Structure 1
Amino acid sequence: MTQYHVLIPCAGHGSRMQSASPKQYLPMHGKPILRHPIDIFEAMPIISQIFIVIAAEDAYWSDTLLQGCHKTQVLYCGGDTRAASVYQGLQALGSHVDSEDWVLVHDAARPGIDAHMVQRLIDAMQPTDIGGLLALPLADTLKRADETQHVSATVSRELLWQAQTPQMFKIGMLQQALAQVLNRQPTDEAQAMEWAGHTPKLVLGDLKNLKVTYPHDIAVVSALMQATQSEQDTE
């Protein structure tokens, strides 16, 4: 029986946040940002295991962050890049998983993920699909800048999507793809699969699944999460 596992690369420092600690450990709604997606995946029966990949020298990690978790474990093998962390995490899984199982790779700093989005991604996979990712069609007009920060061109937004996570692929296929292109430093798992000759499927994500990158993002994501919760409470 095919199983679904989650891998969360968590070895980044998030320098653009300008914070004392990595952004995944910053507080939001009474708990660390990282704990929000963990709680979502923990509560989903379809998810078998959750793996957090951190750097071996991570001084900010505390085992108390996983208090009450039953499916989550830590892998101390994080790399210098996201791709390296994911690849080394997949290698560390070893006998814990089957190569034909699915792995959902999710950003540690996307606290707005919810079970509806995750299930939508899982349900969208057909037998002929090699995997896919949550994403949003671009709505804004795009401008390409020159080296002096002046507009050099307007880029058509037609058929353009903004990638989100989770990004979901068969464990064996993703591990093989990353092994082939790791030196090219793919920015996400979908790009690694693309470079390996595959065509991942785009599945509609959600605005609140925004990645926390800059200081103001915390307030934006927090507001979006609260608004969604308020809507659910009134239904």
Structure 2
Amino acid sequence: MNCWGVIPAAGIGSRLGAAVPKQYLEIAGRTLLEHSLRALFADARVKGVAVALRAGDERAAALACLQDPRVLRVEGGAERADSVAAGLAALGERAAEDDWVLVHDAARPCLDAKSLGALIDAVAAGGSGAILAQPVSDTVKRSDDGNTVAATVDRRSLWLAQTPQLFRLGELTRALAGAGAVTDEASAMEAAGHPVGLVPGPRTNFKVTTADDLLLARCLLAAGENS
């Protein structure tokens, strides 16, 4: 199974309110981007990763992990989909259309090797793309005004999408080109009519978006380093 990766890392992480883009915040001696990149390379089936960076990004030059010959640095875009498309285009010079591509968030540093392996194994066995996702376990409320409960939503069919999301290079490239604004790659594949499988992912594979997330990631990664 020929497998590659794309990490969109051109954002500025404005919601976190940090002094630097969140992918460059350090936890346990490494930036979030380094942790996320290392997580993909933990599986030997990943042959290379395209990292999409903001134009003029000077911090990237200081990261030793980006000097790895398996890493392809490309210029990202204003939106996530633009950065992913740039990464896919760069991989197209090395990979075949029917090769598989893992798209993973730069700010999702706690991906474990077991979950990554389970995703790749599931896709290899089933032959169609899939994503890591977490079944919703809490009671879900819907609010129409942001202040009061309008209804309780049936959670039995609800999942929280995670990354990596794993699809064929050619199919994903075409799906993103015709999808417009999407928040993840699975949405583009769904719109293009492709089946998208669900592989259960752990709660620890969360995206760092808020200060609380950063604190939790620091605890988890520090514990992992100590162990």
TM-score, length basis structure 1: 0.90
Aligned to 1:8: 7
Aligned to 2:163: 165
Distance (whole Å) between structure 2 residues aligned to residue 197 and residue 191 of structure 1: 10
Aligned to 2:18: 19
Task: Provide structure 1 residue ranges, at least 5 long, that are not aligned to the other structure.
Answer: none
C-alpha contact (below 8 Å) 2:50/2:90 kept by paired residues: no
How much has 1:20 moved relative to structure 2? 1.1
1:164 alignment partner, SS class: strand
Aligned to 2:30: 31
Distance (whole Å) between structure 2 residues aligned to residue 224 and residue 42 of structure 1: 19
Task: Provide structure 2 residue ranges, at least 5 long, that are not aligned to the other structure.
Answer: none
Deviations 1:17-48 (A, max 9, x none): 00111111001001111101212233432110
Q: 2:199 matched to 1:200? A: no
Q: What residue identity is the alignment partner of 1:202?
A: L
C-alpha contact (below 8 Å) 1:42/1:71 kept by paired residues: no
Distance (whole Å) between structure 2 residues aligned to residue 205 and residue 115 of structure 1: 11
C-alpha contact (below 8 Å) 1:28/1:222 kept by paired residues: yes
C-alpha contact (below 8 Å) 2:47/2:70 kept by paired residues: yes
Q: What residue identity is the alignment partner of 2:202?
A: D
Deviations 1:145-192 (A, max 9, x none): 1225221111111111101000000000000111111x2x11100010
Q: What residue identity is the alignment partner of 2:121?
A: D
Aligned to 1:153: 151
Residue in structure 2 matching 1:80, options 70, 78, 83: 78
| Identity %, equivalent residues | 41
Q: What residue identity is the alignment partner of 1:120?
A: A
Deviations 1:71-111 (A, max 9, x none): 222112x1111111111221232321111110000000011
Aligned to 2:70: 71
Distance (whole Å) between structure 2 residues aligned to residue 3 and residue 105 of structure 1: 14
Stretch deviating more after TM superposition (23-32 or 219-228): 219-228
How many residue pairs align between the two structures? 227
Q: What residue identity is the alignment partner of 1:113?
A: L
1:15 alignment partner, SS class: coil
Closer, same or farther: CA 52–155 of 1 in aligned 2, 3 Å = same
Q: 2:134 matched to 1:136? A: yes
Aligned to 2:88: 90
How much has 1:68 moved relative to structure 2? 6.5
Closer, same or farther: CA 115–70 of 1 in aligned 2, 3 Å = farther
How much has 1:196 moved relative to structure 2? 0.6
Distance (whole Å) between structure 2 residues aligned to residue 64 and residue 222 of structure 1: 19
Distance (whole Å) between structure 2 residues aligned to residue 117 and residue 102 of structure 1: 17
2:93 alignment partner, SS class: helix
How much has 1:132 moved relative to structure 2? 0.3
Closer, same or farther: CA 228–54 of 1 in aligned 2, 3 Å = same
How much has 1:202 moved relative to structure 2? 0.3
